[in-house]
Amino acid sequence: MAERGTLSVIVPCHNYGRFLGEAIESVDRQDRRPEEIVICDDGSTDGSWDDVQRIAEGRADITAYRHEQAWGLIRTFNELVERSTGDLIVPLSADDRLGPGFLRRMEDDLLARDLDFGYSDYRCFGAEDWYFRAPEMDVDRLARANFISGTAGIRRSVFDEVGGYSPAFERLGFEDYDFWLRVVEAGKVGARVDGCHLEWRRHPGGSRNTATRRDRLHLRWKLLVHHPRFFLHPRTLRAWRSSGEPVGTAVDAP
């Protein structure tokens, strides 16, 4: 089994300072605490920076900084990874919460099973209340829909190797799908970490990932352009035909 390394939780925040305390408390309650928490206030206009500073005050394990103007999620996320130092990276949205025991279980699984990334079930709360049981890792299933949330554990070396998140997908809101496809295409190995380890806050009005049929067709074309070897593989084409649905049908994931 590989040696344990360091772990960073990275938190992008744009106008979600009112929820940030819950997010950080969920990290603090973990039985495996990260070596660092890195928070970026991405040009918030509602006073969230004050919340960030209050939470970070007196905490040597928290690094906090801000953008005067909003950069957008993808640029901010990639910068957070660059600024962090952990061997393992776990992203957490400022309005979400980690479930109990996630960091230890994720790290244990990655080390014991020699995995490159690990993901889990999640529970929605707030404006919606439902549970998603993530399937075991399956490339054919991933060809039909993304089931890996953005809040997953990944080795820094893997993130760097695939080049982080692509800005080409930011406006569509499917940057997670593109990212995990590139990770799989690079031959990396991941698995489901047993249990519900993400609490995903749902806001009135839904998610930016809720796509219309036109959006899904655009997404399918974009994915084909960016991942031709993956989506034009005979096995993947068979998976599409058997599903009866266009790619992206179930990619509404945190």
DSSP characters over 63-107: EEEEESS---HHHHHHHHHHH---SEEEE--TT-EEPTTHHHHHH
More confident residue, 148 or 216: 148
The one-character DSSP state at 29 is T
> Residue range 187-196: average pLDDT?
94
Question: How much is the pLDDT for 42?
Answer: 98
Q: Examine the pLDDT at 250 and tell me if it is beyond 50.
A: no
CA–CA gap between residue 117 and residue 188 (Å, rounded): 8
Domain ranges within the chain, ordered by starting residue? 7-243
Q: Examine the pLDDT at 201 and tell me if it is beyond 90.
A: yes
CA–CA gap between residue 197 and residue 151 (Å, rounded): 9
Long-range CB contact pairs, 52-57, < 8 A, 24+:
52/13, 52/17, 52/20, 55/20, 55/21, 55/24
Look up the CATH number of domain 7-243.
3.90.550.10
- Of 61, 42, 39, 43, which is closest to residue 52 (Cα–Cα)? 39
Question: How much is the pLDDT for 243?
Answer: 57
Question: How much is the pLDDT for 249?
Answer: 41
More confident residue, 218 or 195: 195
Query: How many angstroms separate the first and last alpha carbons of the chain?
Result: 31
User: Predicted confidence band at 116 (pLDDT cuts at 50, 70, 90)?
Assistant: very high
> Residue range 191-207: average pLDDT?
87
Q: Examine the pLDDT at 172 and tell me if it is beyond 90.
A: no
Q: Examine the pLDDT at 72 and tell me if it is beyond 70.
A: yes
More confident residue, 253 or 8: 8
Residue 229: count other Cβ atoms within 10 Å of its Cβ: 8
The one-character DSSP state at 136 is P
Percentage of residues in the chain with pLDDT exceeding 90? 69
Give the lowest-confidence range in 23-32, 139-148, 187-196, 220-229: 220-229
Question: How much is the pLDDT for 5?
Answer: 92
CA–CA gap between residue 132 and residue 195 (Å, rounded): 11
> Residue range 125-142: average pLDDT?
92
> Residue range 119-129: average pLDDT?
93
Give the lowest-confidence range in 68-82, 160-174, 235-249: 235-249
CA–CA gap between residue 100 and residue 112 (Å, rounded): 20
Q: For the chain, give the mean pLDDT.
A: 89
pTM of whole model > 0.85? Answer: yes
Q: Which of 145-149, 186-190, 201-205 has the highest mean pLDDT?
A: 186-190
Question: How much is the pLDDT for 251?
Answer: 43
CA–CA gap between residue 99 and residue 88 (Å, rounded): 18
Distances (CA, A) of 24 to 98, 112, 120, 220, 249: 9, 27, 19, 36, 32
